[in-house]
Structure 1
């Protein structure tokens, strides 16, 4: 009996094991729930409302308001240099002295010739007067008297020529002393004492007037109407940023060129700065800005919040339920790290400034603290910038 029921018992046990395994697997499947997409970690910032100055920015080159290359007007030996390189000089201040001896001799010679011919002219005049009297008395003929008149006139002409020679010699002697034609800063001394210089050829030194000073720069031609309108209304203020964040200098637009460069689509302007502390220097590159207008109550967001797609620019707005909404926006001028939003956004709305690649429209987001403080702060507007050399943002 026992031998007959032993196979049946083993089969029942095996079937029971299979049923137990299937039941366990089924329970496990019922316990598992489908996993959803985790919230995207993002950094946000609030859209703020500020009065933003809209500025046209450009890179300019500083130029001396006056620049004179000093040359000698006569030839001779340079016997004195009366300044130090790089010093400031005033108009009329002595700079150089040439050897005057040969020019002094030439002046004395011209003065001697003048004195001789003046004596001849005086004698000729007396002779003519005497012969004129003799003609009236009938002692000599009119022709004889006319000869003395001619001699007198010739002597007078010689005196005039000698006087011109004296004036020229005196002027040449004066050129031996070279003074500063303008006030300004001296450059490098080009010729040392003891050298022989040639008239109108040898450069001695260059003087640059740096106070006031000009900045030369270009702006896109599309900004020309606005600049002309503001120049017609009054002075157009220009701000120059000093090197090393050491401050700014205030100036005004002093020149607008009469032609747009067709190859670059830009027009040249100049700004004049008083430069009392001589912080600006000729040849220096400088960042310039012209304030065109003040946008009242402009909506401003950090520039990194604005994204671009084939359909245009947009931002991710975080809604109160912690979901992200894609919002098309119209962006105005760019500020320093900021963007002015013209349409599509309201003050106070939270926009994503970091983590946009992880955001899905309509998906959940989790806000984390930024590693660095957000650049904008309410009540401290940055100027909205329009580039004057590379390009310009739309208004």
Structure 2
């Protein structure tokens, strides 16, 4: 019994000794990089772009609705029947171009009747004037009294008034006749046409057609109350520059600010603004939504970096930069303005290489090795990568706690 116990103890001692002297295969290979990374400080792979110094337009962004400057519902002014339609749906028309012709026979008869009455009254006026002339000659020869002459004069004056009334009646009849010829009140594109020759129309009925002006065209959008002064300043300076960005990457149009409303909407805290754009290619269509960017200020010689490079640290915003010795440096920054993928900051010099990818593994003084910005997912817009030393990219080192200032 004692021999068995002693044998077991000796076996355990031998196995333990073998474990210390001969490690398992692969154990040393797995621990070597960790030891090297923790002791030697392996370079961190990063991507960077250079901070740019250029003029930067401060823009306000909003969602706008395309609205026509002029849209007219064409309706008849008299009850009648359509005899001819001169246009097609979707046709572009000029101001004064004929659109519809209505049955004008009754109005033509009224004009003829008024003209005939005028001829009758003109003949009566001519007779009254002859009577006045004759009475004046007889009065000069003392054959009639002054009262007879005055009576004839009153008759002439009365007949002149009747003739004037006849001429006014003719003009009124011609106005009614003109209603039978409906023309375009302004230039634009014709909408849907729901009537045909023989259709009966009424002044209070549905529009015969809608004429909408497409060039130029407006975009209406709302700005927060805090940006009211910026919009008014842009309006006073001639309208500023307003960009309408078309959806699905179909480009953008540049116009000018034309209108700022005279009150702020109390329910939303916004003010209505309108900009005008040339629309010869009809890229803007009434009712469509577009993204609007209003340039309210230009910052001269601003330092521009990607927004992706800005890190929120314990003491504020910072960016990591690649120092001349290929080590990581940190720069406290203040964001002046930001829009899209870019930000204007202070605290960085023009030309410094700002880290856009891999910054989560950085701390000041850590060695870095750069890779192409495209390989990092295209985070840099025009980033110039430094040459890679040694022809290899080292593995990322674990992030150290307290790396951000």
TM-score, with length taken from structure 2: 0.75
Residue range with higher mean Cα deviation, 164-173 or 229-238: 229-238
Q: C-alpha offsets along residues 333-367 of structure 1, whole Å, 9 cap, x if unaligned?
A: 224323333337885355364684xx586797987
1:204 aligns with 2:218: no
Counterparts of 1:265 and 1:243 in 2: how far apart (Å)? 27
Please report the RMSD computed on the Cα atoms of aligned residues, expressed in angstroms. 3.9
Counterparts of 1:353 and 1:222 in 2: how far apart (Å)? 35
Partner residue of 1:45 out of 45, 48, 57: 48
Counterparts of 1:346 and 1:150 in 2: how far apart (Å)? 97
Q: C-alpha offsets along residues 95-120 of structure 1, whole Å, 9 cap, x if unaligned?
A: 11011111111111111111111111
Counterparts of 1:180 and 1:207 in 2: how far apart (Å)? 8
Counterparts of 1:324 and 1:113 in 2: how far apart (Å)? 102
Partner of 2:188: 184
**Unaligned stretches of 5+ in structure 1?**
1-5, 380-395
Residue range with higher mean Cα deviation, 246-255 or 73-82: 246-255
Contact 2:48 2:383 in 1 (8 A): no
Contact 1:338 1:376 in 2 (8 A): no
Partner of 1:111: 115
Counterparts of 1:215 and 1:328 in 2: how far apart (Å)? 40
Secondary structure of 2:264's aligned partner: coil
Partner of 1:194: 198
Q: Which has the higher strand share?
A: 1
Give the 3 Å change call, closer, same or farther, for CA 324–129 of structure 1 in structure 2: same
Counterparts of 1:241 and 1:15 in 2: how far apart (Å)? 83
Counterparts of 1:16 and 1:320 in 2: how far apart (Å)? 62
Aligned residues: 369
Partner of 1:163: 167
Partner of 1:390: none
Partner of 2:298: 293
Residue range with higher mean Cα deviation, 310-319 or 277-286: 310-319
Contact 2:49 2:380 in 1 (8 A): no
Partner of 1:246: 250
Give the 3 Å change call, closer, same or farther, for CA 122–44 of structure 1 in structure 2: same
TM-score, with length taken from structure 1: 0.76
Partner of 1:274: 278
1:141 aligns with 2:151: no
**Unaligned stretches of 5+ in structure 2?**
385-405
Counterparts of 1:10 and 1:255 in 2: how far apart (Å)? 104
